Amino acid sequence: MTPRTRADIPTAKRIVVKVGSSSISGDNAGQIGPLVDALAGAHERGTEVVLVSSGAISTAIPFLDLAARPTDLATQQAAAAVGQNVLMWRYQTSLDRYGIIAGQVLLTAGDLEHATPRSNAQRAMDRLLALRVLPIVNENDTVATHEIRFGDNDRLAALVAELIGADLLVLLSDVDALYTKPPHLDGAERIAHVPVGDALAGVEIGAIGRAGVGTGGAETKVSAARIAAEAGAAVLITATTLVAEALAGEEIGTWFDAAPERRTADGDSGLA
């Protein structure tokens, strides 16, 4: 059942957790261990967990002796090929402590826009979860072009949550919640709860995350949260450093209520 409040999170059957590049690359690569600890805790209590992880390109930067994130498509594609390999090795090495096997799932926007590849992706994800594998999803940046990209992995995570009928989507970044204005400004207040249909009138949606590394921001997270919530999944936005507290159901972050009727990627509706 879809969690109605944060306290219900431990009872969720299927969850999607998204982590951004700035949270698990560069100086923050050490956060992979605590992130895996939290995911393993949920996995061990029987929850089906999917991780949507950015970070392939940013992870490759030091290995390719690049000064910064590449801007040309060919180098981005090459960096993604190198970084995805390193990123999966880091995740699996950490998951080995719990005897959990990761499965890599790389998607393009076209995979979720067309019926046959979408059905294939859904079937593969369902089977991985049934086998108690922890799928790690990323955009297939090695083959994606600017014209066919998701745009950011927040949106990808929301579409994956819709695809697999997740009960909960957790969007992690460098900031602990959404605020009424950029959190570094005076007077910024945490938005604790967003009811269904709330337009967030008067809220100044600013940047979120470490500049120059990730591609998402607060605006993309709100947009992704609305996609997932409208599909029937509850959504929690918080910081990567608070992922253990988030999955334990503590009163942190920004909570988006799920729509009362669940919508799947195929357009079917039902009670959430």
* C-alpha to C-alpha distance for 53 and 23, rounded to whole angstroms: 10
Residues of the domain holding 159: 6-271
| C-alpha dist (Å) from residue 173 to 131, 241, 242 | 29, 9, 10
Say whether pLDDT at 210 is over 60.
no
In a domain, 215, yes or no: yes
Question: What mean pLDDT do residues 78-96 have?
Answer: 97
Q: Which residues are annotated as a binding site?
A: 18, 54, 141, 153, 173-174
Find the length of the chain: 272
pLDDT for the residue numbered 143: 83
Q: Which residues are annotated as a binding site for substrate?
A: 54, 141, 153
99 Ramachandran zone, left/alpha/beta (phi>0; psi -120 to 50): left
Question: What mean pLDDT do residues 68-78 have?
Answer: 91
| The residue type at 19 | V
Domain of 230, CATH number, reads: 3.40.1160.10
* C-alpha to C-alpha distance for 205 and 177, rounded to whole angstroms: 12
Three state DSSP letters for the chain: CCCCCHHHHHHCCEEEEEECHHHHCHHHHHHHHHHHHHHHHHHHCCCEEEEEECCHHHHHCCCCCCCCCCCCHHHHHHHHHHHHHHHHHHHHHHHHHHCCCEEEEEECHHHHHCHHHHHHHHHHHHHHHHCCCEEEEEECCCCCCHHHCCCCHHHHHHHHHHHHCCCEEEEEECCCCCECCCCCCCCCCECCEECCCCCCCCCCCCCCCCCCCCCCCHHHHHHHHHHHHHCCCEEEEEEHHHHHHHHHCCCCCEEECCCCEEECCCCCEEEC
Q: Which residues are annotated as a binding site for ATP?
A: 18, 173-174
Handedness of CA 156, 24, 172, 188 (dihedral sign): negative
In a domain, 76, yes or no: yes
- Give every CB contact of residue 203 below 8 A, 6+ residues apart in sequence: 178, 180, 181, 191
Number of domains making up the chain: 1
* C-alpha to C-alpha distance for 127 and 201, rounded to whole angstroms: 41
Neighbours of 267 (CB within 10 A): 6
**What are 255's strand-pairing partners?**
193, 236
In a domain, 196, yes or no: yes
pLDDT above 90 as % of the chain: 76
> Which token pair is 123?
């079937």
In a domain, 247, yes or no: yes
- In terms of pLDDT, which residue wins out, 266 or 219? 219
In a domain, 1, yes or no: no
What residue has token string 């005897």?
99
pLDDT for the residue numbered 201: 80
**pLDDT one-digit tens code per residue, 10-60:** 999 999 999 999 999 999 999 999 999 999 999 999 999 999 999 999 999
Question: What mean pLDDT do residues 132-149 have?
Answer: 80
- In terms of pLDDT, which residue wins out, 272 or 200? 200
Can you say how many angstroms the Cα of residue 102 is from the centroid of all Cα atoms in its chain? 16
In a domain, 128, yes or no: yes
Question: What mean pLDDT do residues 183-193 have?
Answer: 92
Say whether pLDDT at 177 is over 60.
yes
Mean residue pLDDT of the chain comes to 90
